[in-house]
Structure 1
Amino acid sequence: MSALKIREIQKEDNQQVAEVVRTVLVEMGVPKVGTAYEDQALDDMFATYQQPRMTYFVVEEKGKIIGGAGIAPLIGLEEKTCELQKMYFLPEARGKGLGAQMMDTCLKFGKANKFEQCYIETLPYMEGARKLYARSGFKSLEKPLGDTGHYNCTMWMIRDI
C-alpha cells in the first residue's frame, strides 16, 4: 500500500494542483472556456482558499499531488449552501476509493462550517464523477444554483449535509 494522504493545500502545492486540474480537464475533453480551466484561481489555489468557511484538500502520494477538491460558500447562497469545487484526480488516483474519501472529508468540513447543503456542477460525460456524486447522496437539479460562472457545466446536483 502506498503512502496516500489527504491534507489541506499548502502554498508550495499551487503548481502541481493547477497541473492536475488542467491535465484532467484536457483528458476529459472539457471546453477551456466557461469551465474551471480558465479560472484565475487555478494558479494560486492556496491563496484562493484562505477565506472563511472554505478550504482545498489535496491527495498526496509519495510527495506528488494526484488529486484534490475544494469546498467554499456557493456565491449567491453563501449562508446555507457550500459548493464542492475543482474535484479532480489523475488516472493513477482513480479506482482506489479516494473520491469517496475526499467527498467525505469535504462534506465534514462543510457541516463543521454550518452549511446545510452541498452543491456540485459537472458535465454529462464525466460519468465516473457523476456516479460518485450519486453514491454520495447527491440528487440532480433541473437548473443551476448560485453564480459560479461555469456556463458550460450543464449538470447540477445537491444534497443535504
Structure 2
Amino acid sequence: MENVQIRPFRATDVPWLVEQHGKYYARDEGFDASFGALVQSILEDFVASHDPARERGWISECDGERLGSIFCVALDGQTAKLRLFLLLPEARGRGLGKRMLDTCMGYARSAGYAEMRLWTHESHRAACALYRANGWQLLASKPVHSFGVDLVEQSWKIQL
C-alpha cells in the first residue's frame, strides 16, 4: 500500500463507484438494487451541482487501481456531511481508511465547516470503530427496513 494515492474524484469514477457499492453491499449486507440506485442518484447530483469551493470527493488508488472513495458535501452552511465512504476489502486494515477520513475532515475544516455528520449502519463495525477512535459521537440509532433488509441505522457527528 506504499503507492496509494488519494486523488480528487472525477465524473468518470461514477460507474465504478456505483458498481462497487452495489456489489459489496449486496454481497456483505444483502442489500437489494435500490442501494445502487441511491448511490447513482447521489453521484449524479454531485457531478451536476456540487459547490467546488465547499464540496469534494476523493478516490484512493494504487498503481491505477481504485480502492475506495469518500465525499464531503454541505448539509447546511456550518455542517458538512461525510458520504460514500467505501474501502474495498483488499485495502482494509492498513490505515488507508484513516488517511481517507483525515483527508475528508481536514478539507471540511479548511472549507469553514464547524461540524460534520454522517449516516451509516451499525453492521459496519470497522467504520464505526474508526469514527469513534477519531472523536465522532453516536447521536442516534434506530431499527429500520431499508434496501430490502432489516438494519440498525446510525447518525454520527463531530465538532471540527
Say whether the fold is shared (TM-score over 0.5). yes
Checking the alignment, whether the CA contact within 8 Å between 2:141 and 2:152 is kept in structure 1 is no
Match status 1:108 vs 2:106 = yes
Distance across 2 between alignment mates of 1:24 and 1:81: 29
Checking the alignment, whether the CA contact within 8 Å between 1:70 and 1:84 is kept in structure 2 is yes
Q: Which protein is richer in strand relative to its size?
A: 2
Checking the alignment, whether the CA contact within 8 Å between 2:18 and 2:40 is kept in structure 1 is no
Paired residue type of 1:82: A
Are residues 98 and 58 of structure 1, via their aligned partners in 2, closer, same or farther at CA, if it must alter by over 3 Å?
same
1:89-104 residue pairs with structure 2 within 5 A?
89-104=87-102
Checking the alignment, whether the CA contact within 8 Å between 1:14 and 1:46 is kept in structure 2 is no
Q: Which has the higher contact order (CA 8 A, sep 6+)?
A: 1
- Aligned position for 1:73: 74
- Aligned position for 1:147: none
3-state SS of the aligned residue for 1:79?
Answer: coil
CA-atom RMSD, angstroms?
A: 2.7
Identical counterparts, % of pairs: 22
User: Alpha-carbon deviation of 1:143?
Assistant: 6.4
Paired residue type of 2:83: Q
- Aligned position for 1:157: 156
Residues 121-161 of structure 1: CA deviation (Å, up to 9, x unaligned): 110111011001101110010369xxxxx9x6611110011
Can you give the 5+ residue segments of structure 2 that lack an aligned partner in the other structure? none
- Aligned position for 1:24: 24
Match status 1:125 vs 2:127 = no
3-state SS of the aligned residue for 1:104?
Answer: helix
Are residues 139 and 35 of structure 1, via their aligned partners in 2, closer, same or farther at CA, if it must alter by over 3 Å?
farther
Are residues 123 and 109 of structure 1, via their aligned partners in 2, closer, same or farther at CA, if it must alter by over 3 Å?
same
Checking the alignment, whether the CA contact within 8 Å between 2:57 and 2:69 is kept in structure 1 is yes
Distance across 1 between alignment mates of 2:49 and 2:97: 20
Residues 13-59 of structure 1: CA deviation (Å, up to 9, x unaligned): 22222222222222331534775752333564771574241111000
User: Alpha-carbon deviation of 1:120?
Assistant: 1.1
Checking the alignment, whether the CA contact within 8 Å between 1:6 and 1:58 is kept in structure 2 is yes
- Aligned position for 1:59: 60
3-state SS of the aligned residue for 1:51?
Answer: coil
Are residues 141 and 40 of structure 1, via their aligned partners in 2, closer, same or farther at CA, if it must alter by over 3 Å?
same
Q: Which protein is richer in helix relative to its size?
A: 2
3-state SS of the aligned residue for 2:83?
Answer: strand
Can you give the 5+ residue segments of structure 1 that lack an aligned partner in the other structure? 145-149
Are residues 4 and 28 of structure 1, via their aligned partners in 2, closer, same or farther at CA, if it must alter by over 3 Å?
same
Residues 51-78 of structure 1: CA deviation (Å, up to 9, x unaligned): 241111000111111101001011xxx1
3-state SS of the aligned residue for 2:22?
Answer: helix
